[in-house]
Structure 1
Amino acid sequence: MTSRNLVKLFKNTLVVGGVTTVIFGLFVRWHELQSFFIDFKILDIISAIAWLMLMGFLFSVISQMGFFAYLTIHRFGLGIFKSASLWNAVQIVLILFGLFDLVYLRYINFAKTGDSILPFFVPALLLLVVGLAVAWLKSKETNRAAFIPALFFMIVATLVEWVPVLRENAENWFYLMAIALLACNAYQLLILHKLNAQSEQERQSRIKQTGPVAEKNKKKKKMTKKPSI
């Protein structure tokens, strides 16, 4: 990927994270912020939106760190297991293990006496449904082999990025961070192959443009070369 497209990916992912957090944050925390809008407190509204936007940027940076870490891990996985099918099997096991832990560990750590386990399935179902949808789109736009890696990234990588909130079980940020991470992860995953293709086109175009110029300079250099005698 060219440096220009890399910067483009970074900036666009920041925007995705910021906008998603602001929109969903206003919805989730409306009971806290509605007085600002009802009383038309401009400064409070601006400060609330700016705070949500800043948190969205932070979520976006975490997502991007996870994305590039996964790209490295994916290459290591293919190299270690020497087979894409074997590496896919390992990823499926890790997906199931991650979803199980998301339900079981949260239940034993945060459930109160008499609480049902069913509500603890909701985050896992959210990750699974969104992950399947994004993986299907990725495989449709690229190839079938991309389905399992995309699903692994959308579920396991999101879980790892989500850990700070999962540990604290902070209600205000639990789903807010999850939605922002899923949005950023999905965007990066679905735009990567397009930016790679665009980078390759730009590279080929640059080669075509510089080729004739280099040949012209080469001929010019031969014509202006001083005689040795």
Structure 2
Amino acid sequence: MNSRKLVNFLFKTLIIGGIAGLAISFFVEADVYAVNLSPFNFMEIIGLIIFNIGLGFTFSALSMTGFFAYLFINRFGFSFFRSFWPAVQVLLIAFILFDLIYFPYQAADGNTSIIWFVLMAAILFVYGLIIARIKAKETNKRAFIPALFLMVVMTAIEWVPGLQTDGLDYAWLMIAPLLACNTYQLLALHRVTKVDEKKKMESTKKKKTPTSAKKVGASKA
């Protein structure tokens, strides 16, 4: 991946996060928008839109940091654990899903039913399964567990600041851009690098062609 494609990749991730942040704010902060729509307050509405897009940009940057950390962790884990790395990832996924239920429930002091936290972890896991299946279908079967690891473990780690706040509003505002950005990065990376591989093959063929032509000419002589 050259610098131009990398910048394009990061820019698209940033835009996706901003759009996702704005879209989820219409649901999470519906009452705030409603107050400024009746009577209509143009400046406040614009301020809310800019703020939520900026918030989405911030979470996009967090997602990009987590994604490149995931690439390093995946490479390091494979070199360290070898054939046991997929099993280690599965254990980490199970551990993180348990943490997503237990610790937020304990922090809520019984004010929120545990069912909501179980549902939250289940939705994240099911969504991760869907995206991991798509990734495996577009690349190879071995990509399934690493993709699921990114969508569950890395997303949950990036989501920690949102889970530590009072109430669920900030958590929802945070999870939508994170999932959108992680999904895009995961499904777009192999497409970007695949183009590079094709160009390398074409350039290699071009380099080999003159050499082979020379050999043919020499043999005729």
**Under a length normalisation based on structure 2, what TM-score does the superposition of the two structures give?**
0.88
Equivalenced residue count is 210
Counterpart AA for 1:28: V
Instruction: Name the structure 2 match of 1:55.
Output: 55
Q: In structure 2, how many angstroms separate the alpha carbons of the residues matched to 1:17 and 1:174?
A: 15
Percent identity of paired positions between Structure 1 and Structure 2: 42
Alpha-carbon displacement from aligned partner over 1:105-128 (angstroms, at most 9, x marks no partner): 111121326x53211212201211
Aligned-pair CA distance for 1:88: 0.5
Q: In structure 2, how many angstroms separate the alpha carbons of the residues matched to 1:127 and 1:92?
A: 15
Q: In structure 2, how many angstroms separate the alpha carbons of the residues matched to 1:56 and 1:23?
A: 10
Of residues 197, 200, 207 in structure 2, which corresponds to 1:200?
197
Instruction: Name the structure 2 match of 1:109.
Output: 107
Alpha-carbon displacement from aligned partner over 1:18-48 (angstroms, at most 9, x marks no partner): 0011011112101111122232222111111
**1:146-185 matches, cutoff 5 A:** 146-185=143-182
Q: In structure 1, how many angstroms separate the alpha carbons of the residues matched to 2:72 and 2:114?
A: 36
Q: In structure 2, how many angstroms separate the alpha carbons of the residues matched to 1:8 and 1:131?
A: 25
**Under a length normalisation based on structure 1, what TM-score does the superposition of the two structures give?**
0.85
Report the 3-state secondary structure (helix = DSSP H, G, I; strand = E; otherwise coil) of the residue aligned with 1:17: helix
Report the 3-state secondary structure (helix = DSSP H, G, I; strand = E; otherwise coil) of the residue aligned with 1:91: helix
Larger Rg: 1
Counterpart AA for 1:159: A
RMSD, matched Cα: 2.0
Q: In structure 1, how many angstroms separate the alpha carbons of the residues matched to 2:196 and 2:186?
A: 16
Q: In structure 1, how many angstroms separate the alpha carbons of the residues matched to 2:54 and 2:9?
A: 18
Aligned-pair CA distance for 1:200: 2.5
Structure 2: 5+ residue stretches without partners: 212-221
Aligned-pair CA distance for 1:204: 4.7
